[in-house]
Amino acid sequence: MTEDSRTGAVIPSEENPMKLHSGALSEMAHLIIDEPFNLPSPHITAKEMLNIKMRIDHALSVQHIDGIVITHGTDTLEETAYFLDLTLNASIPVVVTGAMRSSNEIGSDGLYNFISSIKVATCEEAASKGVLVVLNDEIHSAKNVTKTHTSNISTFQSPQFGPIGIVTKRGVSFHHQPTGKEHYPIDSIHKRVALVKAHSGMDSLLFYALKEMKIDGLVIEALGQGNMPPGTIEGIKSLIESDIPIVAVSRCFNGIAQDIYGYQGGGKHLKEMGVIFSNGLNGQKARIKLLIALHSESSQDAISDIFSL
């Protein structure tokens, strides 16, 4: 992105400004550059995410590559990173990075984050840790990282667990690593999964509308530990009776949605109805996971098992 000096509007550049520095970075690594598209991150869909995944698979099948860096707009960066984390089967480091300040803005962080990401992608210790997100000298796992501030350069945080490593002037240091690795092989993406956020006084109207829209799955950012207003129950029930899987996460910044409360609309009541509870994902990542799960599994039990991981 570049900032228009006259209007102040931030718009896409005709080409990635990082390419201008590829020659200067040749001492760090031999860069093989592939530009599948040039889009603002709000324009990214699951189809573009799958495109990146397929390009990486192809590149690894035809040449030797030691690491991968993906530059991405920050608004949907965490979703692309998590999509790749669930679908790629690569042991080499895969790093997603971005910038909070435009390439021609004073204090632009793009080149710095790009250099940090190359350091991580060429680090042997970064292998077999899943897809990583690197910005502002921190290394995060794709599963836990999220954008927490609209404009601050330290916006990417892992609220519950913190970063798994740091980047310094002298190198890369990891202090812990993710446990377990999920992999769901897919070669197409066409299902429709919606995401809604619960609020006080919510009723069933939106759920009935979603049913008419013929969605394939739904993620609800529920209240607290995973509770819903009683007015939503009939709408949720109608979706479940239509075999549309529903995953509940919490709209809270921290914590895990669980089937604790037994009142009408409480988590225990929702689970007894057939709502699936996610193991700590936020809404946007639960949507990505449900989208992938629907292309990998068909049964409610199998999808439920996937969300227990």
Phi-psi region of 147 (alpha: psi -120 to 50; beta: other; left: phi over 0): beta
CATH 3.40.50.1170 fits 2-174, yes or no: yes
Of the listed ranges 51-65, 239-253, 290-304, the one predicted with least confidence = 290-304
Q: Are 123 and 97 in contact (CB under 8 A)?
A: no
Range with the lowest mean pLDDT among 60-69, 139-148, 153-162, 293-302? Answer: 293-302
Closest to 166 in 3D by CA, of 120, 211, 209: 120
The proportion of the chain whose per-residue pLDDT surpasses 70, expressed as a percent, equals 100
pLDDT at 18 over 90: no
Is 80 exceeded by the pLDDT of residue 254?
yes
As its CATH architecture, domain 193-306 has 3-Layer(aba) Sandwich (3.40)
Report the run of H or E that residue 71 belongs to, with start and end: strand 68-71
The mean per-residue pLDDT over the stretch 219-237 comes to 98
pLDDT the model gives residue 29: 93
Say whether 41 sits in a helix, a strand or coil: helix
- Secondary structure class of 227 (helix, strand, coil): strand
82-118 pLDDT tens trace: 999 999 999 999 999 999 998 888 899 999 999 999 9
pLDDT in tens, 176-204: 988 889 999 999 999 999 999 999 999 99
Helices (H), the chain: 46-62, 77-87, 110-121, 205-212, 233-241, 267-273, 283-296, 300-306
pLDDT (mean) for 223-241? 98
pTM: 0.95
d(CA 171, CA 151): 27
Residue 17 has a pLDDT of 73
- 193-306 matches 2-174 in CATH topology: yes
Confidence of residue 69 (pLDDT cuts 50, 70, 90): very high
pLDDT for residue 179:
86
Does residue 19 carry a pLDDT above 80?
Answer: no
- Residue 20 pLDDT greater than 90, yes or no: no
- Domain extents in the chain: 2-174, 193-306
Whole-number percent of the chain with pLDDT over 90: 85
Q: Taking all residues of the chain, what is their mean pLDDT, rounded to a whole number?
A: 95
pLDDT recorded at residue 166: 98
> What pLDDT score does 180 carry?
84
So what's the pLDDT on residue 298? 74
